């Protein structure tokens, strides 16, 4: 059992290999754009150690590691009582969509209650902001009672995408960023009207460690650069 625990910890913390590197934690739904931003940043700056996971995992890691920045939904960050964020830098707005598997078709978000749609994946509301958005959408449209038996709740946005790509489900509720990343691996997607869920502000929240590291300030400056904005825009933010 001890060997298993050590192995799991090594797997979780394996990203943070260099004690002197800037450490950031990122919501799993934004892994792809952040990876591209880091590639551009590291072309002229030192390497950044980034860890990805659902927000519950992110906050657990941030409590144990000298994490300087957390990138995720501002509402989730502000709600944390055990972690104090000293400032926020906006990155963009998250947009919720319904993706459908190849061979399926969806013309309107209200059509997910049709009998032909058997399984719908969504992230867990307590762990992912798009789980919250999904529940708000279903409740605001009074669709929840019609589709609750079809719902398959998973931990993260990438898991939802995988379920749709592998056709384990017919539809999935996630973010535009993940839908664009899936490309031709899915049948397509329909955007959920923004008035059906609370606005999702994606931000970089600075922790105390950020003020102690010059590299953190440099990375924040890069996040607001035209190059970084171009990348985030490409991924639907």
On whether both 11 and 46 belong to a single domain, the answer is yes
In this prediction, residue 55 carries a pLDDT of 83
The pLDDT of residue 8: 41
Which region, left, alpha or beta, applies to residue 81 given φ > 0 means left and ψ of -120 to 50 means alpha? alpha
Give me the pLDDT at residue 128, please: 87
Q: What integer pLDDT is reported at residue 19 of this predicted model?
A: 54
Domain span including residue 171: 96-191
Please give the sequence-ordered ranges of beta strands (E in DSSP) within the chain, or none if there are none. 22-27, 48-53, 69-73, 87-94, 96-100, 120-123, 151-154, 171-175, 188-191, 200-206
Please check whether residues 33 and 71 belong to one and the same domain.
yes
pLDDT attached to residue 85: 95
Q: Where are the alpha helices (DSSP H) in 155-223?
A: 157-165, 176-182, 208-211, 214-223
Output the pLDDT for position 190.
Answer: 98
Q: Are residues 105 and 79 in the same domain?
A: no
Residues 210 and 138 in one domain: no
How much is the pLDDT for 7? 44
Q: Which residues of the chain have pLDDT under 50?
A: 1-18
Within a domain: 216: yes
- Asked if 60 and 85 count as a contact pair (C-beta separation under 8 A), the reply is no
Q: Looking at the domain assignment, is residue 196 inside a domain?
A: no
Q: Which residues pair with 206 in a beta bridge?
A: 69, 87
Residue pair 37/232 in contact (Cβ under 8 Å)? The answer is yes
Q: In the chain, what is the straight-line distance between the N-terminal and C-terminal CA atoms, in Å?
A: 43
């Amino acid at each position: 059992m001890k060997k298993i625990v050590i192995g799991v910890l090594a797997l979780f913390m394996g990203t943070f290999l260099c004690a002197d590197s800037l450490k950031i934690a990122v919501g799993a739904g934004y892994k792809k754009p952040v990876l591209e931003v880091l590639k551009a940043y590291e072309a002229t700056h030192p390497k950044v150690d980034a860890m990805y996971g659902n927000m519950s995992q992110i906050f657990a890691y941030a409590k144990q590691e000298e994490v300087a920045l957390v990138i995720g939904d501002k509402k989730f960050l502000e709600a944390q009582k055990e972690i104090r964020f000293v400032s926020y830098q906006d990155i963009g707005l998250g947009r919720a969509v319904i993706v459908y598997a190849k061979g399926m078709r969806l013309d309107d978000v209200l059509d997910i209650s049709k009998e032909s749609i058997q399984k719908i994946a969504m992230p867990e509301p307590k762990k992912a902001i798009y789980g919250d958005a999904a529940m708000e959408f279903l409740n605001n449209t009074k669709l929840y009672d019609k589709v609750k038996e079809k719902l398959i709740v998973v931990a993260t946005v990438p898991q939802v995408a995988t379920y749709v790509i592998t056709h384990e489900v017919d539809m999935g509720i996630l973010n535009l960023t993940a839908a664009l990343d899936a490309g031709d691996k899915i049948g397509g997607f329909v955007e959920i009207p923004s008035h059906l869920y609370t606005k999702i502000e994606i931000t970089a929240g600075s922790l105390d460690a950020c003020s102690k590291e010059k590299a953190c300030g440099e990375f924040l400056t890069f996040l607001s650069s035209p190059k970084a904005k171009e990348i985030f825009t490409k991924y639907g933010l």
